[in-house]
Amino acid sequence: KTPIAILISGTGSNMQALIKHSTTHPESSYQVKLVISNKADALGLIKAQEAGIMTKVIDHRKFKVRESFDREIDTLLLENNIEIICLAGFMRLLSGWMVQKWHGKILNIHPSLLPSFKGVNAPKQALNAGVKVTGCTVHFVVEEMDDGAIIEQRSVRIETTDDVSTLQYRIKLAEHQIYPTALDQVAKGLASLDDKENKV
């Protein structure tokens, strides 16, 4: 199974979904070996420990330059023979150095149908825009924020009664369904950034 690491900053519900899929589907092609958080108080760290996964905290505030933070992450990844990185609510931008070094090996989940609503608070952006449908996207990470080739998407209807928290909740349910299967595809070699680059 392909050893993967998950980078988080908070709740870690997508992280949990990735872990759960791999432990409940024997045919899954990846294994979560390491969870890294840039925040010591991220709730996801406790959930990862409960699941028996190794956790590390690397506080980004200790580094003057983004690349030094990334180099520390990179060292940990190499020490643990990690092959794929999944960002799951990781609220830091990775440096060009990191993204190039791990070209085609970093996945992200974003709470909108990209290329709409990039950046922070995507569910709120969708509500403010008055769209009737939004959703979530799993994509390869490139240097430009929320811009890599798309691996999988799922739509979520916006109801007139929705506020940010009800919408965010339903988007997360959709995220938990598509992230593990998208990762499986990449780990199996069925989806790669280079294939997708050639197609577009």
Active site residues: 110
Give the strand order in the sheet containing 2-8. 54-57, 30-37, 2-8, 84-87, 106-110, 133-140, 150-157
User: Which CB sits closer to ligand GAR, 15 or 82?
Assistant: 15
Does position 109 interact with ligand GAR (CB under 6 A)? The reply is yes
Does position 135 interact with ligand GAR (CB under 6 A)? The reply is no
Task: Identify the helix (H) or strand (E) that includes residue 90.
Answer: none
What's the rounded Cα separation, in Å, for the pair 199 and 182?
Answer: 18
CB of 198 to ligand GAR, least distance (A): 27
Does position 180 interact with ligand GAR (CB under 6 A)? The reply is no
One of 89, 104, 135, 180 touching ligand GAR (CB under 6 A)? 89
One of 10, 104, 148, 180 touching ligand GAR (CB under 6 A)? 10
Does position 149 interact with ligand GAR (CB under 6 A)? The reply is no
CB of 73 to ligand GAR, least distance (A): 17
One of 4, 48, 53, 88 touching ligand GAR (CB under 6 A)? 88
Q: What angle do CA 153, 158, 159 make, to 5 degrees?
A: 150
What's the rounded Cα separation, in Å, for the pair 176 and 194?
Answer: 25
- Would you say 1 and 30 are in contact if contact means Cβ atoms under 8 Å apart? yes
Does position 11 interact with ligand GAR (CB under 6 A)? The reply is yes
User: Token digits for 63?
Assistant: 């580094």
What's the rounded Cα separation, in Å, for the pair 168 and 20?
Answer: 21
Positions in 28-67 near ligand GAR (CB under 6 A): 44
CB of 100 to ligand GAR, least distance (A): 21
Task: Identify the helix (H) or strand (E) that includes residue 176.
Answer: helix 164-187
Site residues for ligand GAR per CB under 6 A = 8, 10-14, 44, 88-89, 109-111, 120, 122, 172, 175
